[in-house]
Amino acid sequence: MSAFQTIIVKKQDNFAEIVLNRPEKRNALNKQMVDELSAAFKSLKTEDRIRVVVLKGEGKAFCSGADLAYLKELRNFDYQKNLEDSLNLGNLFLKIYAFPKPIIAIVQGPALAGGCGLASVCDLILATPNAIFGYPEVKIGFVAALVSAFLIRQIGERKARELLLTGKILNAQQAFNYGLINELVQEPELEIKLKETIKDLMANGPQAMATTKQLFLDFTYQEIFSEIKKLSKVNAKFRSSPEFLEGINSFLEKRTPNWRS
């Protein structure tokens, strides 16, 4: 696999690790990282010896959401550019969600906004007590549109409404209680738990697991695929609104937003 700049792909025996590698930016998402993640998953999908994929972040964060420089660029995007950008991230979420092999997300710090979405579309999430989760987009005039298609199915509409409307941040225990993560693991035990989980998955028939994942897709994929296209349009349209621009500007200028009805 060719070298990447924003991620690292490590292959060990029958599993691979994809490491978000922008620790100085808390592994924030930008277009390059989204493109490289998409390419990495595409390559690993057809590599028969790789049966499990682990997604993790370098440093103290899993992924803190959108990159600051990227947010500055968004202010100048037109509708078409915003639509392309939204579809790009939405298609990455779909690619991970539809991946035929089990994906384990390891979250040891912040997983926020798009970063929380990235973890949410994985099959399993192992988190340490230092992890935090949330979709705080509404606090700066964003709409967490893309992830809503997955979140409602995972934790139910009532909890999804609460998270997306309030923008509240959950600690690891709260995230576990919400059903957002699978297991809460103490930091010293994380590596052991990860190895155990990989071993358990490796003991299963690879085609049986792939078929099991396909069963979920048969029920949901076409519906979610259609929703992602619609939600990308919602995203693109809202990004042209005065409220969105005020939200970005207030965030970048470190001031309270001046919302107007």
Which residues belong to the active site?
137
Identify the helix (H) or strand (E) that includes residue 20: strand 15-20
The CB density around residue 71, as the number of other CB atoms within 10 Å, is: 19
Q: Which residues contact 154 (CB under 8 A, 6 or more apart)?
A: 120, 179, 180
Cβ-contact 64, 26 below 8 angstroms? yes
Closest by CA to 98, choosing from 38, 148, 29, 182, is 38
The CB density around residue 117, as the number of other CB atoms within 10 Å, is: 26
d(CA 237, CA 10): 39
Crossing angle of helices 31-45 and 79-97, in 10° steps, is 30
Which pair of tokens denotes residue 144? 């967490």
CA distances from 108 to 63, 112, 172 (A): 10, 12, 9
Cβ-contact 68, 28 below 8 angstroms? yes
8-state DSSP, 30: -
